[in-house]
Each structure stands twice: as structure tokens, then as C-alpha cells.
């Protein structure tokens, strides 16, 4: 069986065709917080760089990611920390 991180990676890759995607399980850092569950897989940090974000405002990007991961939210995903960038925006952060 795949992990939630594997499923998130697969779904975001399928939906956004990213140039860069990092999915990090940060559940251990949130133990005892709202939404945390024994066994983790509830809190993730995502860095997603995709041309699909061109022309989209920050809120629209976030909504698109949340929509793509609706099934994960319905089955225990509690929180995402999102860094959603176009390729040009990502290049600018590396200068």
C-alpha cells in the first residue's frame, strides 16, 4: 500500500505536471495538535513549481491544489503548508 506522501505526489504530478515537486511529511512536528493522529500522515509541506500556475493568483493556486487533494482531505489529511510557484517565480527565489 502506498503512503499518503506517495499519493499526494502522484496526484499533484498528474494534475500539474510540475517542474519541481517536494512533499515532506511534517506530522511528527504536529503531534498533540489539532488534526494530528497516531501514525501521522496528517500534516505536509509541499513545494510545487509548475507552469500551470501562470496567471493564477495565490488563492487560486491553493484552491486548485486543495481540489486535487480532496480525497486525501476526506480520509485524514489535515493540513498543508504550500509554496506554489511558477518557474519564473522559483528562479527568482534562487538568485
pLDDT digits (tens, 9 = 90+) for 33-79: 665 555 567 889 999 999 999 999 999 999 999 999 999 999 988 88
DSSP per residue over 55-81, as a string?
T--HHHHHHHHHHHTHHHHHTT--EEE
Determine if residue 31 is left, alpha or beta; phi over 0 gives left, psi from -120 to 50 gives alpha, anything else beta.
Answer: beta
Residue 1 or residue 5, greater confidence:
5
Global pTM value: 0.85
Domains and CATH numbers, the chain: 4-82 (3.30.300.90)
Amino acid at each position: 500500500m502506498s503512503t499518503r506522501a506517495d499519493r499526494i505526489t502522484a496526484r499533484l504530478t498528474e494534475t500539474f505536471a510540475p517542474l519541481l515537486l517536494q512533499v515532506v511529511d511534517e506530522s511528527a512536528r504536529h503531534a498533540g495538535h489539532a488534526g494530528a493522529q497516531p501514525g501521522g500522515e496528517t500534516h505536509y509541506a509541499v513545494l510545487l513549481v509548475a507552469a500551470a500556475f501562470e496567471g493564477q493568483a495565490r488563492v487560486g493556486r491553493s484552491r486548485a491544489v486543495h481540489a486535487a487533494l480532496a480525497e486525501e482531505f476526506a480520509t485524514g489529511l489535515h493540513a498543508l503548508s504550500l509554496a506554489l510557484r511558477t518557474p519564473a517565480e522559483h528562479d527568482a527565489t534562487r538568485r
